[in-house]
Amino acid sequence: MKYLNINFIFQKTILLLLISSLMACNSNSKAVDVSETKIPEKPNILFILVDDLGYADLSIMGSSYYETPNIDKIAESGTIFTDGYAACTVCSPSRASLMTGQYPARHGITQFEGKRNSGQSWKQRKRYTKLLPPEYKHHLDSSSITLPEAFKEQGYATFFAGKWHLGGKEQRSLPTDHGFDVNIGGYNAGGPSGGYFSPFKNPYLPNLPEEKGLNLSMKLAQETSKFIKENKDNHFLAYLSFYAVHSGIQTTKEKWTKYRDKAEKMGIQEEGFEMERVLPARKYQDNPVYAGLIEHVDDAIGTVMKTLKDLGLDKNTIIVFTSDNGGVTSGDNFSTNQLTLRGGKGYQWEGGIRIPYFIDIPWIKQDGASINVPVSGVDLFPTLLDLSGLPLKPEAHKDGVSLKPLLLGEEIDERPLYWHYPHYGNQGGEPSSIIRKGKWKLIYYWEDLQAELYNLETDLGERNNLAESNPEIADQMKTQLLDWLETMDTHYAEVDPEWDKAAREKWLEKQKNVTLPRQEKQRKKMLSPDWKPNKDWWGSELNKSE
């Protein structure tokens, strides 16, 4: 296999230029035109959530490798929040925050569902960590007032398709237990059971013989389009929650070929990984399977957008597009790289929490206006109520604020954003809590009770820890963070009295000496012209073989 000596640094340059240009448009941007607009009564809502999609995993957000024309159109028509954040570094907590408008520290789901994620049972994972993660809620509380419940109360038809991961039938915590009239494919699973091609191993997603080999993302889009057609004369909330681009990643032979060839033209580097603090991290966007999986999602979204347009509903439907956490640079399938941002899913740095965050309101001329005010997933619940002319529910979405003023070119009060993740992430994240206030971000680590302080205006890559050189700012933010945590009924990791430091150091050395070379080998195989994952390309060619 030939490896070219062309550096991928231009990818990072593109993202830096993009962020700089987007941030040049401030919170009261005049690009938003509200003149001569007629606000419809009870507009429809299409909420699109892509799992594990990173901030830089879209062409409009700086990627020169991934191709996402349909998603880009949402951003180009709507508003881009350049400093949009997920409420957590991993999925379930963030998803619960989207549903409730509350931070994980408040609603209690601080980690994804798993029996070996806390207390002494955590030691079964053999990570040999200093701390034992705390217990936490494993499903959405029935007492929580959710986004779909609020809309259903106002006469909306509500629909859910895709990944739920907030409990299942046993806990009475399916989507239909929390305000959705229809549930297609949502239960307690966090990944695509059975893979991304039909037949699916999902108890809430029936398999049809004629759909054999159909891509899961397209299946969810088709079900969403079906719901929209059936409710074209009603007010509706359609929540399309893709399982993609979660591991294990899969695509078709055609899309793999397209992106393998593209990677070769861009220049394939000899070494594709480097060690982060805990695990190896992907250095470049050059994964052809992941790129194909992203394009599957984009194709699926294009189908739903066409349905809206064909029915004449595109002028009466608010569209939200976002992700539940950063892209996977370490762990899982080591799928992507976030260019200038440090880390990815699970990590406490920007790559783990900063995400694509677009809102398109068709009766307001936005044309890709950008807003650099820090916003969170907790804000979407009150924002959608406000944009729809419905009463807010401050007793429910206690941590979110309506972003409607920003979307109308006005301002909102400055406020801090908070994160609390007292766990170890599968991707290398450490037990920590975070506060972002203005340009400053402080990360407080629970292992050693030390802090990192970053100026995100000058150091978006979080490489220059300013905690020692700016002790007053660090102390002030730390105090504010800890004071806020005191107001939450939350839990903290505790020191393992039997901690074996030597065993931990041995495990870390293994990641460097075994995991990293293994990932390098897998990457080179996947980029080889004669690579074949299996006989039928994960089932995508089932129909072709008959």
Q: N- to C-terminal Cα distance for the chain?
A: 33
What pLDDT digit, counting tens, does each position of 135-177 carry? Answer: 999 999 999 999 999 999 999 999 999 999 999 999 999 999 9
3-state SS, residue 394: coil
CA distance 388 to 44: 8
Q: What architecture is domain 42-129+139-410+505-530?
A: 3-Layer(aba) Sandwich (3.40)
Q: How many residues does the chain have?
A: 546
* Ranges of each domain in the chain: 42-129+139-410+505-530
CA distance 363 to 388: 12
Residue tagged 């789901």 (tokens) = 109
Residue type, position 430, single letter: E
Q: What is the dihedral of CA 461, 11, 343, 473, to 10 degrees?
A: 10
Q: Are strands 451-455 and 440-445 parallel, antiparallel or unpaired?
A: antiparallel
> Closest by alpha carbon to 133, among 333, 325, 420?
420
Beta carbons within 8 Å of 237's beta carbon, 6+ residues apart: 44, 45, 47, 147, 148, 151, 152, 156, 157, 158, 159
Beta carbons within 8 Å of 295's beta carbon, 6+ residues apart: 66, 67, 68, 251, 255
3-state SS, residue 44: strand
CA distance 328 to 347: 9
**Taking a C-beta distance cutoff of 8 angstroms, is the pair 368, 78 a contact?**
yes
> Closest by alpha carbon to 430, among 458, 450, 409?
450
Phi, psi of 468 (to 5 degrees): -80, -35
Q: Report pTM.
A: 0.94
From first to last of its 546 residues, what are the pLDDT tens digits of the chain?
333 334 444 455 555 556 655 554 444 444 455 544 567 889 999 999 999 999 999 999 999 999 999 999 999 999 999 999 999 999 999 999 999 999 999 999 999 988 889 999 999 999 999 999 999 999 999 999 999 999 999 999 999 999 999 999 999 999 999 999 999 999 999 999 999 999 999 999 999 999 999 999 999 999 999 999 999 999 999 999 999 999 999 999 999 999 999 999 999 999 999 999 999 999 999 999 999 999 999 999 999 999 999 999 999 999 999 999 999 999 999 999 999 999 999 999 999 999 999 999 999 989 999 999 999 999 999 999 999 999 999 999 999 999 999 999 999 999 999 999 999 999 999 999 999 999 999 999 999 999 999 999 999 999 999 999 999 999 999 999 999 999 998 999 999 999 999 999 999 999 999 999 999 999 999 999 999 999 999 999 987 655
